[in-house]
């Protein structure tokens, strides 16, 4: 496995509200989180969420557990993060209404677990084709699903940043869980919408296919910034190469 990651403030924002985590020791867990833009203390929410889930992971998960048991523990960690963000938001006025997305991937033997809340995304590249694994929890995704707009309109929609689920907004947040088989030479991209809103899928696919991992990450970041860089930009790119799980 080879991976590379970056988090950048972008061209416009005064604060980076994104956060990410890479399990460097075990190379099992990778997470991106996007603090709610336009809300107070988005950086606090994303940092809290990452730290709580990360700490729960290290405390509760071990290699003897089944993937289903690991999934349950990760969901417990996410729920703990949600409750902690809500509690802090209610306790401190300067943290009111803070929230964050979360998108994570966990590798276990020849299986991959994806968990998503919000509109940060997970993509998989197999057979030279980029496929979005996660489904955005967003207003635009609802409009797209209901046939009220097409994909091109979704990409340019003025309300594409409005999300319908996040950690911290309410206790009954929506969470999606996906599984995939690990394959030789599979590549996985986790990113916040600072990337996915500014580069089309074909552009992302071409950059990843034609460059080594570290160079691809830099080119993706540069591309998002050249196209405006209106939001924070965070991404993790993972190349499985030959499976060694």
Residue from 43, 9, 39, 20 nearest 161 by CA? 39
φ, ψ dihedrals at 32, nearest 5°: -125, 145
Instruction: Please give the distance of CA 194 from its chain centroid, rounded to a whole number.
Output: 11
Identify the H or E element spanning 188: strand 187-191
Strand 111-117 to 2-8 pairing: unpaired
- pLDDT tens figures, 191-205: 999 999 999 999 999
Dihedrals φ, ψ of 106, to 5°? -130, 130
Q: Rounded mean pLDDT of 7-35?
A: 96
List of domains in the chain: 2-6+8-239 (3.60.40.10)
pLDDT digits 0-9 by tens, 59-87: 999 989 999 999 999 999 999 999 999 99
3-class SS at 99? Answer: coil
How far apart, in Å, are the Cα atoms of 91 and each of 5, 97, 165, 167, 185? 34, 11, 22, 16, 47
The model's pTM: 0.93
Residue 156 confidence class, pLDDT cut points 50, 70, 90: low
Question: What tens digit of pLDDT does each residue of 35-58 get?
Answer: 985 556 999 999 999 999 999 999
Stretch among 4-18, 75-89, 128-142 having the lowest mean pLDDT: 128-142
> Would you say residue 142 has pLDDT above 80?
no
Angle at which helix 42-60 crosses helix 67-91, to 10 degrees, equals 140
The pLDDT of residue 32 is 98
| SS3 (DSSP) at 189 | strand
Residue 147, token pair as written in the block = 């046939």
């Amino acid at each position: 496995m080879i991976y590379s990651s970056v988090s950048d403030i972008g061209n416009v924002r005064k604060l980076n509200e994104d956060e990410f985590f890479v399990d460097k020791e075990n190379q099992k867990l990778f997470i991106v989180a996007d603090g709610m833009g336009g809300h107070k203390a988005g950086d606090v929410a994303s940092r809290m969420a990452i730290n709580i889930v990360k700490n729960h992971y290290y405390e509760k998960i071990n290699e003897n557990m089944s993937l289903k048991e690991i999934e349950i523990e990760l969901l417990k960690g996410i729920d703990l993060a949600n409750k902690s963000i809500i509690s802090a938001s209610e306790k401190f006025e300067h943290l009111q209404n803070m929230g964050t997305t979360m998108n994570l991937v966990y590798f276990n033997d020849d299986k991959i677990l994806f968990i998503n809340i919000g509109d940060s995304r997970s993509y998989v590249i197999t057979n030279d084709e980029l496929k979005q694994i996660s489904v955005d929890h967003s207003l635009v995704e609802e409009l797209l699903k209901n046939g009220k707009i097409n994909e091109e309109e979704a990409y340019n929609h003025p309300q594409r940043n409005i999300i319908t689920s996040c950690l911290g907004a309410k206790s009954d947040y929506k969470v999606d869980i996906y599984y995939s088989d690990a394959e030789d030479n599979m590549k996985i991209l986790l990113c916040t919408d600072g990337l996915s809103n500014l580069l089309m899928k074909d552009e992302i696919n071409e950059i990843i296919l034609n460059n080594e991992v570290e160079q691809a990450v830099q080119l993706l970041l540069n591309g998002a910034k050249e196209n405006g860089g209106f939001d924070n930009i965070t991404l993790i790119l993972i190349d499985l190469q030959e499976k060694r799980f």
